[in-house]
Structure 1
């Protein structure tokens, strides 16, 4: 074989290899759940988020690194496939030991920073999560960590973790923090704490029942008070009207008295006697100091009426 033929075959082989590299490395695809970073001689230039087929300069001029665009999850404190769990023992602010499990939902929001600002960004995220959770648990009371304070602890852990990741600037954003389980390290302690919690719940129940009874009695008392006030207002109005009527009667009597004082005085005297002595017979006499002259008209009237009744009975 001649040297020229060897060069020709070698050139053809090299051309085929180069052409294959150009053909197979000049295009790439991006899935809906991915995002791609275009690298030109090792430098990040462009981030592609549109799914589908895309073209670029062939390797080694340009290269593509794909990263997840969907929400990712970090489990802190959960058992792995071998049944082992990471060290999640923590000391609360009132010096009690608890075990905590946490789920962090995060997302790559800046692929360039995620690739080049740190060598192992997920390890940094894990360490920052551990530091944030231990810091917040360390400043919380055990009652809050085990019962009603979980939501507040979650919010504080998220804020602290977000602050740390902003300082590290590794292109990761925190979407949510869920505190799954917080428990005591052994059964004996858990039983004792459960007993304390049950007693506290019983106390709160009794307090709520007492407040409910207090509110009921207060409402009843307010109702009775309102009824008494209404009755008093009604009695007040009635007495005022009665007094106005008495005043009107007195004014009319006074006008009559001014025109006929003697007659009015006698009439008032007779009305008063009738009220004081309703069964008495009243005789009006003009006493001039002489011998009293009395004609018993009423007894005679009674005897006459009795005789009439007897006569009528005989006729029947």
Structure 2
């Protein structure tokens, strides 16, 4: 009975020892085998692996996926104008060399996140000190994020490389400390008004130019039309004068009579017109002659 118990205990111990020598590495992880603080092996491929049982060898796992670190603190930062702003940011990063990461950072992702947060924040503070508030809210913000990413890479790839890659650094929010918010709004409003006034001035100048061009074209058109009208009128007057001259040459007495009638017509242009004339004047002669040539009607027979 004691022999059976001994065998069972031995088998159980062997199974426990055997299970402690086996470990599985997931496809999303690095497997790091180390002994007495020294890294013995880094396993990058997924699958079943062997090691010595503890305490001779131990295994740690590191996430090889793309990780995201968001800003942990929201302390104000000073701009080049000595204005206080608060920004939120995030960093996308991944562990590329597990050996360097464990040697220079730590044995888990949290250790890297804490140190990376400090480095990124210092880089943002240094670069924001060189820029204005307008730089933070305009397209020039892209240059700021590129400079921060470059400085962070210089740290993590420096004399003691972290074994990580910095994929991206982005700003998600920019807020102003309440004390300067109103002044920033006023400045933005003034800028928008300035742009609006410039656009209005440009539009007014363009409108004046269009109106001047239209007036010039109108004057040219009217002048051309007047010239053509005068030309046609002159030709008509010449033809009329020729016709009058020909007709009046055949009958001078009729011509004189016609001119007198035309003068009467021009003189009595309105019903209210009144002329005081000497009956013996030349102007009244046509009426006298027409009256003297009129034969009185015969008296009716009874």
Band of TM-score, shorter chain: 0.5 to 0.7
Q: 2:61 aligns with which of 53, 60, 65?
A: 65
- Report if the CA contact (8 A) 1:37-1:65 is conserved: yes
| Distance in structure 1 (CA, Å) of the matches to 2:189 and 2:51 | 73
TM-score normalised by length of structure 2 = 0.59
1:4-46 deviation digits (Å, cap 9, x = unpaired): x79x948x75554334333464352637xx4233548733444
Task: Please name the residue that 2:40 is paired with.
Answer: 43
Give the TM-score, by structure 1 length.
0.57
Contact 1:113–1:169 (Cα < 8 Å) also in 2:
no
3-state SS of the aligned residue for 2:166?
Answer: strand
> In the comparison of the two structures, how many residue pairs are matched?
254
Residue 115 (structure 1) aligns with: 101
Aligned to 1:224: 211
**Partner in structure 2 of residue 165 of structure 1:** 156
Instruction: Decide whether the 8 Å contact of 2:95 with 2:101 is kept in 1.
Output: no
- CA change 1:46–1:232 in 2 (3 A) is farther
Measured after TM superposition, the shift of residue 228 of structure 1 is 0.8
- The 1:118/1:244 distance shift into structure 2, 3 A limit, reads farther
Residue 151 in 1 paired to residue 141 in 2? yes
Deviations 1:176-226 (A, max 9, x none): 322535544xxxxx43x3443343244334424433442443343233123
* Whole-angstrom CA distance in 1 between matches of 2:200 and 2:104: 63
Residue 125 of structure 1, CA deviation: 1.4
How many angstroms does 1:306 deviate by?
Answer: 8.4
Contact 2:62 2:98 in 1 (8 A): no
* RMSD, matched Cα: 4.9
1:80-95 alignment runs, 5 A limit: 88=75, 90-94=77-81
Q: Where do 5+ consecutive residues of structure 2 fail to align?
A: 107-111, 251-257, 265-284
Question: 2 CA distance for matches of 1:173 and 1:21?
Answer: 41
Cα drift, residue 132 of structure 1: 0.6
Once the two structures are superposed, the pairs formed by residues 196-215 of structure 1 within 5 Å of their partners are: 196-215=183-202
User: 1:56 is paired with a residue of what secondary structure?
Assistant: strand
> For residues 213-256 of structure 1, what are the alpha-carbon distances to aligned partners after superposition, in whole Å with 9 as ceiling and x for unaligned?
42443343233123213213323543565587699x59x99xxx
- Aligned-pair CA distance for 1:108: 1.3
| Cα distance in 1 between the residues matched to 2:295 and 2:105 | 136
Partner of 1:290: none
Alpha-carbon distance between aligned partners in 2 of 1:69 and 1:110, rounded to the nearest angstrom? 10
Deviations 1:96-135 (A, max 9, x none): 2636343323221414255345234334413321321121
Structure 1 residues 154 and 246: CA distance shift in structure 2, 3 A: same
- Quick one: structure 1 residues 224 and 99, their matched pair in 2 at CA, closer, same or farther if it must change by over 3 Å? closer
Structure 1 counterpart of 2:272: none
Is the alpha carbon distance of 1:130 and 1:197 closer, same or farther for their aligned partners in structure 2, counting shifts above 3 Å?
Answer: closer
Which position in structure 1 is the counterpart of 2:117? 126
**2:170 maps to which residue?**
177
Distance 1:44-1:243 versus aligned 2 partners, 3 A rule:
farther
SS at match of 1:140: coil
| Secondary structure, aligned partner of 1:279 | helix
* Aligned positions of 1:96-111 closer than 5 A: 96=82, 98=84, 100-111=86-97
Provide the rounded CA distance (Å) in 1 between the counterparts of 2:73 and 2:59: 37
What secondary structure sits across from 2:80 in the alignment?
coil
| Aligned residues of 1:74 and 1:105 also touching (Cα < 8 A) | yes
Corresponding residue of 1:270: none
Task: Determine the C-alpha separation between the residues in 2 that align with 1:226 and 1:146.
Answer: 45
